């Protein structure tokens, strides 16, 4: 049977080699308070300190990765369950959804700006695709009346953005106009990097009457709700 003196010597030796408290306790099963007492005056050399620090960092990273995997799994489970609740989208559903989208993101006619046509701004490609479907199916807008503008920061890759929107919306690149936004020297905006494709403005030519009709639908929704 190993004596307490031998245990203490082995504990000190392991600690000087850079082993953490948890690692030592796996080899020498003593009370943690005893371990702390034995190692109270034991310092670590730079190499051993770096080892314990690195293992602590690696342990933290493993924990963070596990939490991330768990969060992703839970998120997918919630989204899959919610997705199955949408069984079918009727034409009436599409009408109301598109009207609500225009209410939130579309141009409104003002008393000081009469004759405003349909104009919709967004950077979410799914939302833009849904809006275009609404224009075609509900409003019967012809493709020739729809214009597309890309607004993008001047420091971003506008050629990449143009290709992205042309491919995503299935529209020839020559139908887009590009407008550059001046970039500030210091910025705290988050829409940067490979996922940044600028903002799309969908405009419908000669559509002021249609825009007024949409305003009427919005007022009707408000009255009924």
Q: Which residue has the tokens 């559509």?
A: 207
The least confident of 9-13, 40-44, 74-78, 177-181 is 40-44
pLDDT at 192 over 70: no
State the chain's mean pLDDT as an integer. Answer: 87
- Judge whether residue 28 has pLDDT over 90: no
Contacts of 86 (CB under 8 A, 6+ apart): none
Instruction: Tell me which residue of 141, 127, 142, 137 sits closest to 93, measured CA to CA.
Output: 137
Q: What is residue 44's predicted lDDT score, i.e. its pLDDT?
A: 58
For the segment 23-45, the average pLDDT, to the nearest whole number, is 79
pLDDT, residue 101, reads: 96
What pLDDT score does 53 carry? 65
* CA distances for 142 relative to 56, 85, 135, 138, 206, angstroms: 62, 33, 8, 11, 12
pLDDT tier for residue 188 given thresholds of 50, 70 and 90: low
**pLDDT for 129:** 97
How much is the pLDDT for 54?
Answer: 66
What pLDDT is recorded for position 184? 65
Percent of the chain at pLDDT exceeding 90: 59
């Amino acid at each position: 049977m190993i004596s307490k003196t031998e245990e203490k010597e082995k504990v000190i030796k392991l600690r000087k080699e850079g082993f953490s408290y948890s690692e030592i306790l796996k080899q020498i099963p003593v009370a943690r308070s005893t371990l702390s007492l034995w190692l109270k005056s034991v310092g670590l050399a730079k190499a051993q300190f770096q080892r314990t620090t690195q293992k602590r960092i690696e342990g933290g990273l493993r924990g963070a990765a596990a939490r991330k995997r768990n969060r992703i799994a839970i998120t997918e489970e919630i989204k899959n369950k919610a997705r199955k609740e949408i069984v079918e989208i009727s034409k009436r559903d599409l009408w109301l959804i598109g009207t609500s989208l225009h209410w939130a993101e579309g141009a409104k006619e003002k008393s000081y700006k009469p004759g405003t046509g349909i104009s919709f701004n967004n950077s979410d490609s799914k939302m833009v695709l849904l809006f275009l479907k609404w224009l075609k199916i509900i409003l019967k807008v012809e493709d020739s009346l729809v214009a597309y503008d890309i607004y993008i920061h001047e420091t971003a890759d506008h050629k990449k953005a143009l290709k992205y929107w042309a491919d995503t919306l299935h529209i020839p690149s020559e139908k887009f106009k590009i407008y550059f936004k001046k970039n500030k020297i210091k910025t705290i905006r988050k829409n940067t990097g490979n996922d940044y494709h600028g903002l799309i403005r969908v405009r419908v030519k000669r559509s002021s009457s249609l825009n007024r009709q949409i305003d009427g639908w919005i007022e009707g929704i408000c009255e009924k709700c």
